A and B are shown apart, each in its own frame.
Chain A
């Protein structure tokens, strides 16, 4: 209990309701995202996981609700846009776009540059260093249409890393990647956490939640539970979250 009171939060979501047309996707969501944690957002298909991230990032307009970014004294960037970085699902873009890997990673610097200003040598250096970090240094001049699913994901991750943000939102970064890439991404996430960054990940694989994350939010239209993995991620909460889907939780060692 004592630990909990010492938690510092970076984002507070209050009374958030989002609907597409008339169908509500998120209903009256209250959520606090703690600083320096690796948080998984878990729930069945259509539970509103991606929508939650997009609403927090102000990418869609909610029906109601309030999203508060809490300014910490240690934060260097005053602009909220520059404090957060977003890794969208890699399937949402046209990978036949005429561009190289380096071009795409450089796009991550555009937010810090602002309107009109072009990326310079310093930005290119950061992009190349980051490509090395995600194990893609040999691919910097490669055309993006030639990348595998795992490589695409690494490129997207690099694009977010060059933003040097405080809070990272990732929409299913493990989707369609090989085991090797998954392990590499997990290492990067832990590395971010060690630097005191906050990472929020939409995650599908219940088997790996305890291994990868230390914080979890269970969601299905409403927030079922949110807290430390060892306190919140148990059979009863999972049953409530996946109730409507009739999904069996066979083999779950919880």
Chain B
């Protein structure tokens, strides 16, 4: 009954698409050891959202997300510039820019809320996300952007793969790491921005990292990892939406993130090969083998 509900369907589809995209893009972010970039970009998007509202005065998601995209890109640019031209390391630069942008966003948000008659209610939803506010046109936007992102990923798959594994070698073959880095970062930022409305700036980095980390546990192939990341992300989206619909007053975004984290936990514990339980078992097995062998040696002496 609930599953055929129009609102539920819209939110579930939107969350599934978000999970799918961030699972695939997160695969590259995790392998490039840039998991934190998601956190930085999503926080840095907040002033863009509020400025977009102030300048255009509309709460149209497209405009707000455009503002988010611009300030997210600006923050990435600033971070890379700082790392390049100073002795400040990536993690410090990221923490710095992220908190400055997020602080600015909060200041602007407070300012907007004090303007009388401004129809500002609802901007808060970008902080923690409000999946239930997703509308069909928001979902359509996610479908269009998501398809473009996936298409780009398929087209430049080989290039992204070699660049992620060994960027210097990629450069020696004539694949410019600068261009590939720019394209991949642009795609990741776009993916992050798409998720703001659903899970919010604070939880978005979990959506980027969790499905990819879980996927890495189950496979040793990049393509399978990206595929599993997409599946895990989409499952988290759908299940999170469903559970939060069944239980009243349960927020959707955080429930989605909890589902993703549950998958990570299961994967870290149970995955064959890389899983903790499997490794413990192997250690124990080896130990008992050694004891047996020693016993045999002793008996032969």
Q: Which residues of A contact B (CB under 8 A)?
A: 54, 57-59, 79, 81-82, 84-86, 88, 92-94, 97-100, 103-104, 107, 110-111, 113-119, 143, 145, 159, 163
Once the chains bind, are A59 and B165 in contact (CB under 8 Å)? no
Contact partners of A119 in chain B: CB under 8 A: 158
Contact partners of A159 in chain B: CB under 8 A: 169
- A97 and B175 CA atoms in complex are apart in Å by 19
The answer to whether residues A99 and B165 also contact, given A111-B174, A116-B156 and a CB cut-off of 8 A, is yes
Q: 30 interchain pairs (CB within 8 A)? A: A54-B168, A57-B172, A59-B172, A79-B174, A81-B173, A84-B172, A86-B169, A88-B172, A92-B166, A92-B168, A97-B165, A98-B31, A98-B222, A99-B165, A100-B220, A100-B221, A103-B222, A104-B165, A107-B161, A107-B166, A107-B169, A110-B159, A110-B170, A110-B173, A111-B173, A111-B174, A113-B158, A115-B156, A119-B158, A145-B220
How many A-B contacts at CB < 8 Å in the complex? 79
Contact partners of B164 in chain A: CB under 8 A: 97
Once the chains bind, are B155 and A116 in contact (CB under 8 Å)? yes
Contact partners of B221 in chain A: CB under 8 A: 98-100, 103
Question: Which chain B residue shows the least CB distance to A79?
Answer: B174
Once the chains bind, are A143 and B166 in contact (CB under 8 Å)? no
- A117 and B156 CA atoms in complex are apart in Å by 9
Q: Which residues of B contact A (CB under 8 A)?
A: 31, 33, 155-156, 158-159, 161-162, 164-166, 168-175, 216, 219-222, 224-225
Once the chains bind, are B225 and A98 in contact (CB under 8 Å)? yes
Expressed in whole angstroms, the minimum distance between the Cβ of A58 and any Cβ of chain B is 8
Once the chains bind, are A88 and B222 in contact (CB under 8 Å)? no
Expressed in whole angstroms, the minimum distance between the Cβ of A114 and any Cβ of chain B is 8
Once the chains bind, are B219 and A98 in contact (CB under 8 Å)? yes
Once the chains bind, are A110 and B165 in contact (CB under 8 Å)? no
Expressed in whole angstroms, the minimum distance between the Cβ of A170 and any Cβ of chain B is 12
- A119 and B162 CA atoms in complex are apart in Å by 13
- A100 and B224 CA atoms in complex are apart in Å by 12
- A119 and B157 CA atoms in complex are apart in Å by 12
